[in-house]
Amino acid sequence: MHPTSRPKRSAVRRRAETAPQRSRRAQEPNQRRKSILDAALDEFAARGFAAARLDDVARRAQVAKGTIYLYFRDKESLFQELVRSMLSPLIAAIESAATREVPVRTLCELIADTFVCEIYGTRRKDVLRLIITEGPRFPELAEFYYREVIARVLPVMRKRLNLAVSRGELRHDALARFPQLLVAPALTAIVWSGLFERFAPLDVRELMRAHLDLIFGAAS
């Protein structure tokens, strides 16, 4: 049995024929879609794509199972649209941040802060973790993420970091050559929290600060 075991639902079907007409059309279509996505995030995050059940998503979203199919073609579409919709607002934010005209250290601090506040402290952390855990079996998703996030941010960062190197803001070009090193701790924090939170919680803010110290020297 899969380890994160789920309580067996009773098979008894109560078919109250007089059931009080529960709020059909109570919500806007958009609101419905939203609540399905919300529920989906909870379920996918808790169980992973394969083990999540649309039944549970529907229950959590307070809609019928069939309703999900009015908004999403199938389970996979739901998953992909979920990830995409959560990512979109982030992408703009990251992109604009990356082009700020500030010292590189400030920029990196900004990025770190954004990560801590806007991602790690929110459900977006779950979305990123889903990309990490499910991405390998969802080539399309990985591609989407690469195209929309990585491919946009990486060159900008690389350029900015190269500039910093040439200006002497950075001691060497390691970061410019591998901007991945800049976000590695963020990724590590997400993975760590999913695996070891119970045993050894991580102070992410401090982790990010330490990382910046490592790169730029201790904060003044």
Question: For residues 88-117, which are near its own copies according to CB under 8 A?
Answer: none
Q: How far is CA 213 from CA 45, 106, 149, 218, in A?
A: 32, 12, 26, 4
CA 62, 65, 71, 76 torsion-angle sign: positive
140 binding DNA? (CB under 7 A): no
By the rule CB under 8 A, 26 interacts with its own copies: no
For its own copies, the binding residues in 146-185 under the rule CB under 8 A are: 146, 150-151, 171-172, 174-175, 177-178, 180-181, 183-185
What are the two backbone dihedrals, phi and then psi, of residue 144, each rounded to the nearest 5 degrees?
A: -55, -45
Exposed e or buried b per residue across 4-40, where buried means at least 16 C-beta atoms within 10 angstroms of its C-beta:
eeeeeeeeeeeeeeeeeeeeeeeeeeeebbebbbebb
Q: How far is the CB of 219 from its own copies (least distance, A)?
A: 10
Least separation in angstroms between residue 177's CB and its own copies is 6
Q: Are 126 and 194 in contact (CB under 8 A)?
A: no
Neighbours of 182 (CB within 10 A): 20
Binding its own copies (rule: CB under 8 A), the pick from 31, 55, 64, 77 is 77
CB of 6 to its own copies, least distance (A): 8
Contact with its own copies (CB under 8 A): which of 38, 42, 48, 114?
A: 48
Residue 133: contacted member of its own copies, DNA, none (CB under 5 to 8 Å, by partner type): its own copies
Interface with DNA: number of residues (CB under 7 A): 35
Nearest CA to 94 out of 167, 182, 170 is that of 182
- Which CB sits closer to DNA, 60 or 152? 60
Contact 124, 86 (CB under 8 A): yes
Shortest distance (Å) from residue 60 CB to its own copies: 14
- Closer residue to DNA, CB minimum distance, 32 or 124: 32
d(CA 152, CA 32): 32
User: Taking Cα atoms as reference points, which of 134, 158, 156 lies closest to residue 145?
Assistant: 134
Select 10 or 21, whichever has its Cβ closest to its own copies.
Answer: 10
Q: Choose the one of DNA, its own copies, none that binds residue 96, judging by a C-beta under 5 to 8 angstroms depending on kind.
A: none
Kindly state whether residue 192 participates in binding its own copies, applying the rule CB under 8 A: yes
> Taking the complex as a whole, how short is the minimal distance between the CB of residue 195 and DNA, in angstroms?
23
